[in-house]
Amino acid sequence: MKIICIGRNYTEHIKELENEKPTDPVIFLKPDTSILLKKQPFFIPDFSDDVHYEVEVLVKINKIGKHIDKKFAHKYYDEIGLGIDFTARDLQDRLKAKGLPWEKAKAFDGAAVVGNWLPVSNFKDVNAIVFSLKKNETVVQSGNTSHMLWKIDELIEYISKYFTLKIGDIIFTGTPAGVGKVVANDKLKGFIENNELFSITVK
């Protein structure tokens, strides 16, 4: 399986990081080794002093597809989840300044939190999913998939032009505004509507 991540998919997050609004979805990959193991804490890596949380709605692919038309994209997933794209922001900034790839800052071991999954049938509209992240019981990020620049089915159409999607692949659909630094002993909890889908401790 592979993890396909979308960057810069919420306007307010683009503004907070002072990035340029893209004309096409920004794609990067994480290896399966980046998935944080269930019931394990997240350990801040020794190569960064500025690791940020980024909460994201996730989509799990349920059948193989290539060149998927948007109107058929809904047939390729039946579960929605929530996760965190941990980012070593200081390292990412250095890499970006040199025009280098981001993987060291985004794809290190434990950098992908994958929470529990909910059936698509739970939602009236996958383009109106409310989600949030609490840090130490305070809401630090909140979003709605209606604010995505590219909606889920549009992302599947776009991604599948370049990569064959396979069963079990996970799409991280982008983060809203409010990203911030984690420190040791932080507790992070992710919610879709009133459903807590993950809870982790930072070490």
CATH number at residue 84: 3.90.850.10
Query: Pairing between strand 3-7 and 170-172?
Result: parallel
Looking at residue 55, its pLDDT comes to 98
Looking at residue 7, its pLDDT comes to 87
How far apart, in Å, are the Cα atoms of 181 and each of 12, 44, 50, 65, 132? 18, 11, 6, 37, 16
Digit-coded pLDDT (tens) for 137-171: 999 999 999 999 999 999 999 999 999 999 999 99
pLDDT class of 23 with cuts at 50, 70, 90: confident
Radius of gyration over every alpha carbon of the chain, rounded to an integer in angstroms: 16
Looking at the domain assignment, is residue 191 inside a domain?
no
Looking at the domain assignment, is residue 153 inside a domain?
yes
Looking at the domain assignment, is residue 118 inside a domain?
yes
Looking at the domain assignment, is residue 193 inside a domain?
no
Looking at the domain assignment, is residue 202 inside a domain?
no
Alpha carbons 18 and 8: distance in angstroms, whole number? 11
Is 80 exceeded by the pLDDT of residue 41?
Answer: yes
Stated pTM of the model? 0.94
Looking at the domain assignment, is residue 196 inside a domain?
no
Looking at the domain assignment, is residue 163 inside a domain?
yes
pLDDT class of 19 with cuts at 50, 70, 90: low
Alpha carbons 181 and 100: distance in angstroms, whole number? 23
Structural domain boundaries enclosing 106: 3-128+143-182
Looking at residue 33, its pLDDT comes to 97
Alpha carbons 80 and 187: distance in angstroms, whole number? 23
Looking at the domain assignment, is residue 41 inside a domain?
yes
By the 10 Å C-beta count (0-12 exposed, 13-18 middle, 19+ buried), 15 is classed as: exposed
Query: Pairing between strand 51-53 and 112-119?
Result: unpaired
The tally of domains found in the chain comes to 1
